[in-house]
Amino acid sequence: MQAMVYRGPYRVRVEEKDRPSIEHPNDAIVRVTRAAICGSDLHLYHGMMPDTRVGSTFGHEFVGVVDEVGSSVQNLKVGDRVMVPFNIFCGTCFFCARGLYSNCHNVNPNATAVGGIYGYSHTTGGYDGGQAEYVRVPFADVGPTLLPDWMDEEDAVLLTDAVATGYFGAQLGDIKEGDVVVVFGAGPVGQYAAASSWLMGAGRVIVIDHLDYRLEKARTFAHAETINFTEHDDIVVHMKKLTDHLGADVAIDAVGAEADGNLLQHVTAAKLKLQGGSPIALNWAIDSVRKGGTVSVMGAYGPMFSAVKFGDAMNKGLTLRMNQTPVKRQWPRLFEHVRNGYLKPNEIVTHRIPLEHIAEGYHMFSAKLDGCIKPLIVPSA
């Protein structure tokens, strides 16, 4: 089969690989019909995530058709159209039993701090991902869900991570009616977090980024006010002025490890890999939110230490909330929101790229070419 293969930082190509096989009785093999490149894939692509091995296949956002099932699979059959959450989870460990599917303890031998994720380095379990024609799906009775007939396939692939993560980020903000919410980052997760904040009753939503074309999308797609931080000497002071010097009630970090806006942080983290991530957006969130406010962290960071301003967070009495999204737990409610037209996931898709051109797709997304916000991958099988 054809699959995207990592060759080293900033280099990927499509190779012929063996079709995955059943390795556990509850595995399924899924033929991928749509996949996506996630902003967090760029951390792998840039060589930031430890234990990203040459030869591995990325991709944790995908939907497809069941091609084969293991002997103990009861809930799926060959030919079913399925959407697969980015989390790999067993369903019954201490954490899964409490609904924390993203923190499963039975699927990632390489680390205890993070669960299993498709195509996201050996630090999350060493599974190949869905930017390929076929993918192995462990715990097929637990993770995948049948793709509803009424749902658009592109909406479905976006629900496997980006939409669910933006929505989960707004939930972790514990938004109350009339709250002022500031979202750092106008990428896909930031767009969905901003749109979801209204569903929770926000009274004002402000999105901050440095890319004008993405801010334009935040205005039209997420109905948000926008700020380009490069137009202000100090974005924290500007945020204070915008909120009568109180600060926002809730701040959402939808940027993560490769945040821009501070040369020292960006170079030491994103370029020299001396930090787990460049916490510029997170530090701005801490300083922009009001005392007693909530910071929700959806941005992905590596496992190394990062220079975060915990002193300010402590002195301000902030609540910091974060996790990888337990995607499947979000789906029943999100399906309702999509069906009702409250969330329109595929409106942020800008590119549909054949799998064989994935190297150009990664570069386009990484370098922000051609107004790229969300690229989907179309396998040829």
Partner 1 sequence: MAYTPDKPKLAETSEQLRARIPGWGADLDPKDRPSVPREVFDPSFSGAHWEFPERQPENTPRERSIEHAFLTPVFGTSCPPKGLSGVIRRYSYAKYSEGRAAHWLLLLAADRVDTVEGTLRSFVSRRPDNPVTETGILAEGPRHGRRADRGHHLLDPIIVAAPWVLGAALGVAVVRRVAGRSRG
Within 280-339, which residues bind partner 1 (CB under 8 A)?
A: 290, 302-305, 326, 328-330, 332-334, 337
| Distance between CA atoms of residues 97 and 91, nearest Å | 6
Name 135's bridge partners.
30
Question: 49-86 as b/e, with b when 16 or more CB fall inside 10 Å?
Answer: beebeeebbbbbbbbbebbbbbeebeebeeebbbbbbb
Rounded to 5 degrees, φ, ψ at 266 are: -65, -45
* Interacting span for partner 1 (CB under 8 A) from 77-85, 181-189, 205-213, 231-239: 205-213
Residue numbers 359-378 binding partner 1 by CB under 8 A:
359-364, 366-371
| Distance between CA atoms of residues 210 and 368, nearest Å | 11
Max Cα-Cα span within the chain: 62
Is position 87 an interface residue for partner 1 (rule: CB under 8 A)? no
The DSSP call for residue 278 is: B
Q: Which of 19, 148, 152, 204 is close enough to bind partner 1 by CB under 8 A?
A: 204
Strands (E), 210-275: 225-228, 248-253
CA angle (143, 118, 149) in 5-degree steps: 45
Residue numbers 105-134 binding partner 1 by CB under 8 A:
105-113, 116, 122-123, 125-128
Is position 381 an interface residue for partner 1 (rule: CB under 8 A)? no
Is position 217 an interface residue for partner 1 (rule: CB under 8 A)? no
Q: Let me know: does 41 contact 59? Beta carbons within 8 Å.
A: yes
**How large is the angle between the packed helices 188-199 and 162-172, nearest 10 degrees?**
50
3-class DSSP state for residue 143? coil
Q: Which of 227, 214, 171 is nearest to 348 (CA)?
A: 214
Smallest distance from partner 1 to CB 41, Å: 13
| Distance between CA atoms of residues 186 and 213, nearest Å | 9
Is position 19 an interface residue for partner 1 (rule: CB under 8 A)? no
* Interacting span for partner 1 (CB under 8 A) from 35-43, 53-61, 155-163, 279-287: 53-61
Is position 18 an interface residue for partner 1 (rule: CB under 8 A)? no
Is position 184 an interface residue for partner 1 (rule: CB under 8 A)? no
| Distance between CA atoms of residues 127 and 256, nearest Å | 22
Q: Which of 19, 31, 65, 91 is close enough to bind partner 1 by CB under 8 A?
A: 91
Q: Which of 50, 153, 238, 309 is close enough to bind partner 1 by CB under 8 A?
A: 50
* Interacting span for partner 1 (CB under 8 A) from 59-67, 277-285, 308-316, 355-363: 355-363
- Residue with Cβ nearer partner 1 (153 or 213): 213
Q: Which two tokens stand for residue 102?
A: 């993203």
Smallest distance from partner 1 to CB 27, Å: 8
Tallying the residues shown for the chain, one arrives at: 381
Q: Which of 62, 134, 139, 221 is close enough to bind partner 1 by CB under 8 A?
A: 139
Is position 34 an interface residue for partner 1 (rule: CB under 8 A)? no
* Interacting span for partner 1 (CB under 8 A) from 33-41, 69-77, 78-86, 151-159: 69-77
Q: Which of 28, 211, 257, 269 is close enough to bind partner 1 by CB under 8 A?
A: 211
3-class DSSP state for residue 116? strand
Residue numbers 240-259 binding partner 1 by CB under 8 A:
243-247
Report CA 364 to chain centroid distance, whole Å: 18
Is position 146 an interface residue for partner 1 (rule: CB under 8 A)? no
Is position 81 an interface residue for partner 1 (rule: CB under 8 A)? no
* Interacting span for partner 1 (CB under 8 A) from 155-163, 184-192, 203-211, 308-316: 203-211
Is position 233 an interface residue for partner 1 (rule: CB under 8 A)? no
Is position 206 an interface residue for partner 1 (rule: CB under 8 A)? no
Dihedral sign, CA of 59, 61, 62, 68? positive
- Residue with Cβ nearer partner 1 (99 or 317): 99
Smallest distance from partner 1 to CB 108, Å: 6
